[in-house]
Amino acid sequence: MDNQTLINCLKDKLVGFDIQYSESNDSVTIEVNKTNIVEICKILKSESSLLFNMLIDVCAIDYLAYGDADWKTLDATNTGFSRAVKKTIIPDPDEHYDEKRFGIFYQLLSIENNIRLSISTFTGSDNPPTIDSVNGIWNSANWFEREAFDLMGIQFKGHPDLRRILTDYGFIGHPFRKDFPTNGNLEVIYDEDQEKVIYKPVSITTRPGVPRIIRKDK
């Protein structure tokens, strides 16, 4: 099934939904409203002409400062060097929750029809950002959604066991949001008096990330 045939089939089966279609090389991507994610995924899995019965991946992206940069990128190609062009004011990540701050992407595979499909949707106007879980449709979503929750702070409503999967139990914040000190908040030590491992506030300090240049006097 080629891209155009798949798009035509999707338009036929997903009538009534607000969906944007795009294609690139051998893949098709649909952008859907987050409120329809469960209903659309059920159709994608059950329809005999589609049968997307395998969820390969779920991931999230933070678009907090998307498109803003302090450095030349493409324009620097002809000059050979990159120079700061402006000072970007990045919004406070704990206060800035616009409607499309977080993108959530689902990668589907139909083994019977040998076709793939990407689904994209957005959330973020809620604090915390929330979307319905698709774990009831594909069991593989369980750990994928836990990973997105742990690293990006996305709440998956209806998930049977939404808890951290990669970071420590006492970790504060979400790593992919970069909303925590680089040296962390807590450290683990063995307390000889209590004879057990305990947590305490981190004692190390963050070293400056700017290289120090020492020039010899001429």
Q: What is the largest CA-CA distance in the chain?
A: 79
pLDDT score of 151: 93
More confidently predicted of 125 and 12: 12
Q: What is the mean pLDDT of the chain?
A: 84
Domains along the sequence of the chain with CATH: 3-201 (3.30.460.80)
Structure tokens at 13: 């089966």
pLDDT score of 54: 96
Distance CA 6, CA 117 (A): 9
43: part of which helix (H) or strand (E)?
helix 37-46
Instruction: Give me the long-range contacts of 5-10 (CB less than 8 A, separation at least 24).
Output: 6/115, 6/117, 9/49, 9/50, 10/50, 10/117
Distance CA 187, CA 180 (A): 14
pLDDT score of 168: 79
pLDDT score of 200: 85
Q: Give this prediction's pTM.
A: 0.77
Distance CA 188, CA 99 (A): 38
Q: Give the other-Cβ count within 10 Å of 132's Cβ.
A: 19
